[in-house]
Amino acid sequence: MFETTRRDGIVQARREGARWLSTAWDGGYRDADAVYNVTVPTGFERTDLDAYRAERLADAGFSVGPTLLTGVHMDHARRADSGPVTVLATAGLSNPAALPMADEAEAGTESGDAADWRPGTVNLVVGADRALSEGALATLLATAVEAKAATLLDVAGVPGTTSDAVLVGSVPDADRVAFTGSATAVGAAARACVRDAVVASLDARYDEGPPGVDEAEYGVITDRQTDVRAP
């Protein structure tokens, strides 16, 4: 199983020989024994993210590896395990990204065009103790994001924030599975773990429940209109 360690505003998820797929600033497929979720300070404005990561991990006594950043304190990180899957989540909703359906959107507005990055963020680290192809790893990422969106829609009325990120990992020398969608053992475990870890992280952070869209200081509403026709 994946081991987690928390210190100095960082949570490390470790599994020797793991292969990862990341949606972070330096994302893609990477081999790494450990990955990280790192809390950044209020007012964080640094753009040299590689250097910042190296400084923070070195100060905490960790080696460099794929990293997610968030304004959520790691005291609110929560871990869920089911079968071969481990999920680590931090969840903040100060910058929701709402997607109203067509009959709710106002024609002619484009408030989703631009927004400042704010450190709310729902970050997920998903580890499967199985050997997965690159395609199966990508499917696992999609499965986790779908579960995150479904969870947030239920508890907060939005599918995500403007800065959500995900790391998904597998173990090349473990038992191989070909598929990781919602009907598979790995996918079902991931969905349940994402749901429970996200809800637990929100409960840890918000005493009176997560804020609604109208209460958020930052965020976007994607209410633009599109031209839809047969191809």
Q: Residue 103: its pLDDT value, please?
A: 64
CB 19 within 8 A of CB 169: yes
- Using left for φ > 0, alpha for ψ between -120 and 50, and beta otherwise, residue 139 falls in alpha
Residue partners of 64: CB distance under 8 A and separation at least 6: 53, 54, 57, 58
Q: Residue 104: its pLDDT value, please?
A: 59
For the segment 195-215, what is each residue's pLDDT rounded down to a tens digit? 999 999 999 999 887 777 777
- What percent of the chain has a predicted confidence (pLDDT) above 70? 92
For the segment 54-71, what is each residue's pLDDT rounded down to a tens digit? 999 999 999 999 999 999
- Closest to 89 (Cα-Cα) out of 193, 162, 218: 193
**For residue 24, what are the CA distances in angstroms to 83, 143, 166, 198?**
26, 17, 7, 19
Residue partners of 42: CB distance under 8 A and separation at least 6: 71, 119
Q: Which pLDDT band, with edges at 50, 70 and 90, does 77 fall under?
A: very high
- Closest to 91 (Cα-Cα) out of 65, 68, 62: 68
Mapped onto helix, strand or coil, the DSSP state of residue 202 is: helix
CB 68 within 8 A of CB 190: no
CB 66 within 8 A of CB 15: no
Report the alpha-carbon distance of residue 230 to residue 25 in Å, rounded: 35
For the segment 85-137, what is each residue's pLDDT rounded down to a tens digit? 999 999 998 888 888 886 655 533 344 444 444 456 899 999 999 999 999 99
Q: Residue 110: its pLDDT value, please?
A: 41
User: Dihedral of the CA atoms 16, 200, 50, 6 (nearest 10)?
Assistant: -60
**Partner residues linked to 2 by β-bridges:** none
CB 221 within 8 A of CB 100: yes
